[in-house]
Amino acid sequence: MAAEVSGSRWRTIESMEQFPPTDRTSVKRLPKRGVYDKGQIHAILDEGFLCHIGFTRADQTYVIPTGYVRLDNRIYIHGSPASRMLGALKAGVDMCLTVTLLDGLVLARSAFHHSMNYRSVVVLGTAQLVTDPTEKMAALQAFVDHVVPGRWDEVRQPTAKEMQATYVLSLALTEVSAKVRTGPPIDDEEDYALPVWAGVVPMRVEPREPVADPRLSPGLAPFDAARIDRRK
Ligand SMILES: Cc1cc2nc3c(=O)[nH]c(=O)nc-3n(C[C@H](O)[C@H](O)[C@H](O)COP(=O)(O)OP(=O)(O)OC[C@H]3O[C@@H](n4cnc5c(N)ncnc54)[C@H](O)[C@@H]3O)c2cc1C
């Protein structure tokens, strides 16, 4: 595969190392869009920082948005010990973590063939509470720097009390799949002659002009939002 998404720096970097598909992670609809290559999956996870976590607690399924970072072969999330989600995950319930990067809206000549270009990853497993203080601090630093590169060194470091008030959980990347769609619409042959505009509208999450805190100390240089552009 030699995919390149228009308007992004996504490239297909095949690492030759694969996450072995399981019964639960084999892509069944349009299997050619399934990706198990570790390099490609890491690249998707590293471009995003927002995931959705599904889990069931007391007969109710929840899907909760939250931030994450990948370090080696684990994903780290964090939050308050009072969080119901973190409480459930800490207890070892099965979880499903999904990351979605939207690359474009695919406008076809028929309503039926409209689509989206995307790269998404689904991870299944159970999380573990991170108790080692060094790993916990490294995960929090990595999270801050993942969202805003270089931010950790600019700000006050967490106190012991703040660390106590934060749970960090990790999820191993073992049962993992990605799915990727790229390219133009795929219309029915007879529809290509229709006088309808068709193509791709590229989409991306990008920073806009920063708005300074009204209580900002005087004399500080403006924040350079280009630092957090995910796909420079
Ligand atoms: C972009 C983004 C990033 C976030 N990053 C983090 C993070 O890094 N760490 C973190 O701890 N939390 C984060 N959150 C908040 C997170 O979604 C949860 O609200 C939080 O973790 C508390 O979860 P809980 O299960 O304890 O919620 P509870 O308060 O126990 O949930 C009770 C009910 O409130 C509702 N609810 C909870 N959260 C949401 C929500 N986000 N939207 C709508 N309804 C909701 C649901 O109905 C839920 O069943 C983020 C949210 C967003 C949107």
**Tens digit of pLDDT for each residue in 176-229?**
999 999 999 999 999 999 999 999 999 999 999 999 999 999 999 999 999 998
Rounded to the nearest whole angstrom, what is the distance from the C-alpha of residue 66 to the centroid of ligand 1?
7
pLDDT digits (tens, 9 = 90+) for 36-81: 899 999 999 999 999 999 999 999 999 999 999 999 999 999 999 9
Radius of gyration of the chain (CA): 20
Q: How far apart are CA 177 and CA 18, in angstroms?
A: 10
More confident residue, 17 or 72: 72
Nearest residue (by CA) to ligand 1, atom 5, is 66
* Index of the ligand 1 atom closest to the CA of residue 62: 49
Mean pLDDT value of segment 10-37: 77
* Index of the ligand 1 atom closest to the CA of residue 79: 11
Ligand 1 test: best mutation among 56, 66, 147, 148, most atoms within 8 Å of CB?
A: 66
Beta strands in the chain (DSSP E): 34-35, 50-57, 60-67, 69-71, 74-79, 95-107, 115-125, 128-129, 167-172, 175-181, 199-202
Rounded to the nearest whole angstrom, what is the distance from the C-alpha of residue 20 to the centroid of ligand 1?
32
Nearest residue (by CA) to ligand 1, atom 35, is 64
Whether ligand 1 lies within 6 angstroms of the CB of 66 is answered as yes
Sorting pLDDT into bands at 50, 70 and 90, what band is 7?
A: very low
Pick the CATH number of 31-185+204-228 from 3.40.50.300, 1.10.3720.10, 3.40.50.740, 2.30.110.10: 2.30.110.10
Compute the Cα dihedral for 214, 215, 216, 217 and give only its sign. positive
Whether ligand 1 lies within 6 angstroms of the CB of 225 is answered as no
Sorting pLDDT into bands at 50, 70 and 90, what band is 1?
A: very low
Nearest residue (by CA) to ligand 1, atom 31, is 84
- Give the residue extent of every domain in the chain: 31-185+204-228
Determine how many CB atoms are found less than 10 A away from the CB of residue 49: 19
Rounded to the nearest whole angstrom, what is the distance from the C-alpha of residue 142 to the centroid of ligand 1?
21
The pLDDT value recorded for residue 27 is 79
Rounded to the nearest whole angstrom, what is the distance from the C-alpha of residue 172 to the centroid of ligand 1?
22
